[in-house]
Amino acid sequence: MNNINNNRYANLDVNNPAPRCPVILLLDTSGSMCNDMDELNAALRQFLRETAADEAASRSVELEVITFDNSAEVAMPFTAIADVDPEPDPLVSGGITAMGAALQLATEHLRERRKLYKTNGISSYKPWVILMTDGGPNDDWESAAQEMRERGERGDLQYIGVEIGNDVDHETMVRILPENQQPVKLKDKCFKQFFRWVTASISSVSSSAVSDQDNICFGDPTDWADL
């Protein structure tokens, strides 16, 4: 994916008055994902295009993409969705699953981003964190997962864990995610349906007043979720 700007503090437009909705995609790019990468990349492009085209979401959504395989990397730092290249270089799979390192990065970046909003007088919605994997962590994940799990349990975070295929370490995913937001299995390669649902959901959030975000009724996820 093309990096828009490697300085993750620089991409904040203080002259945009809209409350921000920070979204982090944590994407498994380990070797076992090789059979899913085409669909994932296509769905990601669709997500970038459709979210940027949405009037409300395009003003509020700031996206960061973190990939994890042998290590965790910021494929794209927080960037206003309207400024993201809708045709990024495709993600490539290979290596093991450094999910713990990715969770650590996401926790730190989310904390910094929210602080940045506050110091500039910009209000924000709850962050959305989307963790997609077809396996389980090969590294230390427990301390890395703790802060976001707790935030999710307090209702301060929308945390979506998506399990791809049949080889996911479900027990570990259950422990990573908040008790009230347990992981969901993706229906067979329904990446596009999933990301379309995400676009619609964050569009609803961006259209609401900040104090009203808990009253939103999200769309039915059964198009993509094997519940």
Partner 1 sequence: MNFLTVLKMILGDSVPLPVPLPVKPDSAAKKPAANPKSTPKTTSKSTPRQAAPAGNWRNGIGKKCTPPDSITVYSPKNSPLKLDSAHIKASGGEGIIYTPPINNADILVKIYRNDASRNREKMHELKKRIYAMSALTEVKKQPCFAWPRMPVFDAQRHMIGFAMNNFNGTSFLSLMGGSRDFQRRFPQWDRLTLAQIALDFIRKLNFLAKHGVLVNDFNPQNFLVDDTGKVSFIDCDSFQISDAGGCHITKTFFPSHIAPELLKDKSALTQPRGIHQLEFGAAIIVFQVLMCGLHPYNYYDPSRQSACGTPDENLLHGRCPLGIGAGCRFPSGNWYNLWSWLTGDIKGAFIATFRDGHGNPAARTTLEAWEKHLINLCTVIKYNPERRTLMPMQPKSSDYIGNRTFPDFKKTSGF
CA–CA dist 217, 107 (Å, integer): 27
**7, 119, 166, 171: residue in contact with partner 1 (rule CB under 8 A):** 119
Q: Which stretch binds partner 1 (CB under 8 A): 20-28, 36-44, 53-61, 133-141?
A: 53-61
**2, 35, 123, 143: residue in contact with partner 1 (rule CB under 8 A):** 123
Burial class (CB in 10 A: 0-12, 13-18, 19+), 89: exposed
- C-beta closer to partner 1: residue 73 or 85: 85
**17, 31, 90, 94: residue in contact with partner 1 (rule CB under 8 A):** 17
**1, 4, 11, 18: residue in contact with partner 1 (rule CB under 8 A):** 18
Say if residues 110 and 25 touch (Cβ distance below 8 Å): no
Considering CB under 8 A, how many residues would be counted as binding partner 1? 43
- Contact between 191 and partner 1 by CB under 8 A: the answer reads no
Name the nearest CA neighbour of 10 among 113, 129, 114, 87.
113
- Contact between 207 and partner 1 by CB under 8 A: the answer reads yes
In three-state form (DSSP H/G/I as H, E/B as E, the rest C), the secondary structure along 5-68 is: CCCCCCCCCCCCCCCEEEEEEEEECCHHHHHCHHHHHHHHHHHHHHHHHCHHHHHHEEEEEEEE
CA–CA dist 144, 150 (Å, integer): 11
- Contact between 195 and partner 1 by CB under 8 A: the answer reads no
Positions touching partner 1 (CB under 8 A) are: 13-19, 55-56, 58-59, 82, 117-123, 126, 155, 158, 160, 180-181, 201, 204, 207, 209-222, 227
